[in-house]
């Protein structure tokens, strides 16, 4: 068993490794180190030349709370949501950052800038010969998600976004498309989907309904010649009242005329129709004078005949007979008297008759008036019932038209409100804003001196690693100590290898 101080000395010898021992493998494998260094540095330079310089473009998005979208409702007045805390939380900032990384936003950027066509040659393309356009788009989306750097700045409401590309214009275009797609996505997810379309559709629906109701109301009024049924009902009610008054007056007049006719008839029965107004008695002097003249003429003619003829002559006899007749007529006329009597209608009877005739005419007129008034009242009442039914129908149509108009105006106002909100969204008046817009980068991210230094550093590190690995996996002995340690025999003499 070894002593403790002997073990400690052996451990110190094992740990005592000189710098020569560290760099000895590199000198032994200097050819491999130099070749690997040269190859690695040349490969990196070629890769840098093929890839070209990288240009990075950046933008900053400010998350604030300057605008609150109104709640979507069908009420006349839009409720307003008030909040006492206007500070933006870290969760909201992280949500906006994740929204920037969302698949559909990145896909829109890829399609907008054609990133699926800007991909260079990759060895993996040989392993996937049957790629479709959709596959290339999805792979471009994945590469874009890996190339974008989205980081919220601490203690602020700003999200910083950067993207690097060999083409400075492409880097700018990608960020610009990303900003546009993100703003559209932000507006879409923070607003009620389809609210404007809903209100526009409802506005169009109630507009058509209003036009239909107005056409129905117009056709109804034209069909029944009805303008204002309430006014017409009021006028007809006045006419009914007037006709009822006329009817009552006619009935009163009929009763009075009938009673008057009865009294006139009674009075006419007691009153004579005519009365004597003059009575005169006299003879017929003219007739007597005429007959006396005729008698004298007959006597004269007999005297003339008697001078010529005797009494038995026919002419004389005829004259005698004529004389006798005239004498008898004169005597008879003198004996007969003529009575001249003058009568006239009784004035009281005539007054009663005239009054009876007038009253009967008035009675007939009043009866006709009563019949006409009764018919007029019946017609007017029937028309009033019809107008009342038509008024109910018209009021229903008017109520429907007013309801449609009210709904149309309500949804029209809501539609205009949503239109204004959409217009504000189109002008990016939202809760986020592009505080620093992207710009086309002029200088690359890194210059050639930096690339050379990085290439040198990587080449040195890689070549040193290759040298140590080659020395480690070499089974030959390199030092006498390795021989002693491995074989357990002492080394008498060691001769270094000489290269001729």
Share of the chain above pLDDT 70, in %: 72
Q: Which range, of 39-43, 211-215, 483-487, averages the lowest pLDDT? A: 483-487
The rounded distance, in Å, linking the Cα atoms of 259 and 272 is 22
Q: Indicate the DSSP class of residue 478.
A: -
Q: Which range, of 224-238, 251-265, 378-392, averages the lowest pLDDT? A: 224-238
Work out the average pLDDT over 84-112.
Answer: 83
Work out the average pLDDT over 80-102.
Answer: 74
pLDDT computed for residue 74 by the predictor: 54
Q: Note the pLDDT tens digit of each residue in 4-25.
A: 444 444 444 444 456 666 777 7
Q: Are 119 and 140 in contact (CB under 8 A)?
A: yes
> How many Cα atoms occupy the beta-carbon half-sphere of 297 within 13 Å?
8
Q: Are 327 and 319 in contact (CB under 8 A)?
A: no
Share of the chain above pLDDT 90, in %: 0
pLDDT computed for residue 325 by the predictor: 84
Asked whether the predicted pLDDT for residue 259 surpasses 80, the reply is yes
For residue 94, what is the enclosing H or E element? helix 90-100
pLDDT computed for residue 275 by the predictor: 66
- The C-alpha angle with vertex 199 and arms to 193 and 202, in degrees rounded to 5, equals 130
Bridge partners for 158 per DSSP:
62
Asked whether the predicted pLDDT for residue 172 surpasses 80, the reply is yes
> How many Cα atoms occupy the beta-carbon half-sphere of 152 within 13 Å?
20
Q: Are 83 and 193 in contact (CB under 8 A)?
A: no
Residue 298's SS3 state is: helix
Whether this model's pTM surpasses 0.85 = no
Mean per-residue pLDDT of the chain: 76
The rounded distance, in Å, linking the Cα atoms of 463 and 41 is 10
Q: Note the pLDDT tens digit of each residue in 340-376.
A: 566 666 788 788 888 888 888 888 898 898 898 888 8
Q: Note the pLDDT tens digit of each residue in 202-245.
A: 888 888 888 888 888 788 777 777 667 777 778 878 888 888 88
Asked whether the predicted pLDDT for residue 200 surpasses 70, the reply is yes
Instruction: List the domain boundaries for the chain.
Output: 1-52+446-500, 274-345
pLDDT computed for residue 5 by the predictor: 45
Q: Which range, of 14-18, 30-34, 132-136, 257-261, averages the lowest pLDDT? A: 14-18
pLDDT interval class at 120 (50, 70, 90) = low
- Of 110 and 192, the structure prediction assigns the larger pLDDT to 110
- Of 337 and 265, the structure prediction assigns the larger pLDDT to 265
pLDDT computed for residue 9 by the predictor: 45
pLDDT interval class at 445 (50, 70, 90) = low
Q: Which range, of 120-129, 288-297, 396-405, 486-495, averages the lowest pLDDT? A: 120-129
pLDDT computed for residue 118 by the predictor: 64
pLDDT interval class at 470 (50, 70, 90) = confident
pLDDT computed for residue 49 by the predictor: 66
Work out the average pLDDT over 377-391.
Answer: 83
pLDDT computed for residue 84 by the predictor: 46
Q: Which range, of 196-205, 211-220, 279-288, 379-388, averages the lowest pLDDT? A: 279-288
pLDDT computed for residue 373 by the predictor: 87
pLDDT computed for residue 2 by the predictor: 42
Work out the average pLDDT over 125-146.
Answer: 77
pLDDT computed for residue 211 by the predictor: 87
The CA-based dihedral angle spanning residues 435, 437, 442, 448, taken in that order and rounded to the nearest 10 degrees? 60
pLDDT computed for residue 8 by the predictor: 44
pLDDT interval class at 168 (50, 70, 90) = confident
pLDDT computed for residue 321 by the predictor: 83
Q: What DSSP string describes 341-388?
A: EEEEE-HHHHHHHHHHHHHHHHHHHHHHHHHHHHHHHHHHHHHHHHHH
Residue 51, classified by CB atoms within 10 Å of its CB into exposed (0-12), middle (13-18) or buried (19+), is: exposed
Q: Note the pLDDT tens digit of each residue in 48-88.
A: 666 667 778 888 888 876 555 555 455 555 554 444 455 77
């Amino acid at each position: 068993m070894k002593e403790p101080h002997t073990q400690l000395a052996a451990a110190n010898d094992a740990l005592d490794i000189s710098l020569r021992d560290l760099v000895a493998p590199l000198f032994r494998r200097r050819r491999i180190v130099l070749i690997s260094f040269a190859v690695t540095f040349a490969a990196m330079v070629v890769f840098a030349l093929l890839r070209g310089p990288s240009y990075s473009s950046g933008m900053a998005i400010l998350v604030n709370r300057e605008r609150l979208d109104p709640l979507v409702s069908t009420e006349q007045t839009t409720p307003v949501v008030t909040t006492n805390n206007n500070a933006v939380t870290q969760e909201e900032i992280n949500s906006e950052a994740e929204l920037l990384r969302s698949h559909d936003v990145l896909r829109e950027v890829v399609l907008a800038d054609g990133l699926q066509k800007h991909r260079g040659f990759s060895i993996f393309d040989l392993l996937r010969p049957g790629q479709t356009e959709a596959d290339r788009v999805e792979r471009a989306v994945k590469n874009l998600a890996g190339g974008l750097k989205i980081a919220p700045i601490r203690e602020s409401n700003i999200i910083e976004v950067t993207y690097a590309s060999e083409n400075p214009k492409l880097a700018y275009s990608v960020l610009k498309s990303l900003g546009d797609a993100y703003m559209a996505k932000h507006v879409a997810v923070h607003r009620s989907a389809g609210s404007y379309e809903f209100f526009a559709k409802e506005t169009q629906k109630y507009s058509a309904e209003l036009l239909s109701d107005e056409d129905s109301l117009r056709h109804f009024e034209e069909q029944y010649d009805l303008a204002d049924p309430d006014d017409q009902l009021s006028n007809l009610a006045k006419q009914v009242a007037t006709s009822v008054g006329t009817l009552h007056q006619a009935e009163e007049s009929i009763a009075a005329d009938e009673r008057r006719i009865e009294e006139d008839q009674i009075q006419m029965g007691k009153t004579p129709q005519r009365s004597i107004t003059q009575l005169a008695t006299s003879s017929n002097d003219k007739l007597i004078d005429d007959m006396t003249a005729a008698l004298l003429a007959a006597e004269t003619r007999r005297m003339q005949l008697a001078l010529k003829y005797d009494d038995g002559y026919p002419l004389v006899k005829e004259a005698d007979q004529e004389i006798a007749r005239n004498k008898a007529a004169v005597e008879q006329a003198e004996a007969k008297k003529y009575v001249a009597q003058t009568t006239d209608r009784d004035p009281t009877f005539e007054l009663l008759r005239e009054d009876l005739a007038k009253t009967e005419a008035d009675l007939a007129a009043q009866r006709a008036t009563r019949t006409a008034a009764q018919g007029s009242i019946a017609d007017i009442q029937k028309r009033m019932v019809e107008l009342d039914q038509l008024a109910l129908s018209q009021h229903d149509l008017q109520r429907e038209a007013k309801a449609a108009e009210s709904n149309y105006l309500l949804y029209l106002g809501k539609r205009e409100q949503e239109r204004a909100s959409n217009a504000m969204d189109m002008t990016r008046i939202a809760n986020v804003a592009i505080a620093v817009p992207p710009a086309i980068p002029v200088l690359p991210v890194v210059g050639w001196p930096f690339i050379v230094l990085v290439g040198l550093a990587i080449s040195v590190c890689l070549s040193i690693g290759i040298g140590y690995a080659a020395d480690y996996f070499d089974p030959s002995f390199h030092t006498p100590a390795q021989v002693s340690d491995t074989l357990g025999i002492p080394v008498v003499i060691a001769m270094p290898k000489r290269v001729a």
